Amino acid sequence: MGRGSSGLGDEGPFGGGMTGDNASATVKSSHPLIDAISSGGGGFANEIQNTRDAFEREYGSAVKRMNLSLATFNEPGVLGAYGGDTLFMNEKYVKNANLTEAMQASVTSGYHPSIGNKTGAEAVAAHEIGHRLGEIAAAQAGISEKEIVARAGKKVRIKTENMAGHISGYARSNYSETIAEASSDVFCNGKKASKASKAIMAEVKSILG
């Protein structure tokens, strides 16, 4: 998730991330995200863990075994990524404790939905967890992520191709990003989230049971 386009899609196993430019990014290295790093990151480790726990309470076991890691990326604007059952956060932003500032700049431009009263770490984590939820829901239902968005769209009378436009600029990248952005929107904004986002996440939740 980030200030850019399609994330990590074409390189490596990482199915979604936030990038700074219209370029792919690959994880160069990673190590576990542990509480020890929070002393230099404004409690980011706890924020990310708490976000994951909140999603587990809401959506069940789909996120229970999701690993949390730090990583370095070859594209400096990447904020986070998801792949291989792991949520990766950019070590650069965690150490500098400026992730909220980076996210706010993207929100102002309309590229991402509001983060409400959440921190940048929470918003990015919610986005990446959304990738996992969309992936698992699609597999469980035997449908595509596009079909999840389509089903949600029918319930709020919005055409499938227009759903992303009700969420954010980044949501237009592909249907995986549409779901991930909806996930972040609903987590950060609750009842104030867009009706498209709320419909998508309701559909995901109904599939996951």
What is the tens place of the pLDDT at every residue in 77-105? 788 899 888 888 887 777 666 788 888 88
Report how far residue 150's alpha carbon sits from residue 195's, in angstroms, rounded to the nearest whole number: 14
Which has more confidence, 145 or 39?
145
Task: Check pLDDT > 70 for residue 113.
Answer: yes
Q: Name the pTM for this structure.
A: 0.85
DSSP β-ladder status, 80-83 and 67-73: unpaired
The pLDDT of residue 29 is 55
Report how far residue 43's alpha carbon sits from residue 31's, in angstroms, rounded to the nearest whole number: 17
What is the tens place of the pLDDT at every residue in 119-177? 998 999 999 999 999 999 999 999 999 999 999 999 999 999 999 999 999 999 999 99
How many other CB atoms sit within 10 Å of the CB of residue 96?
14
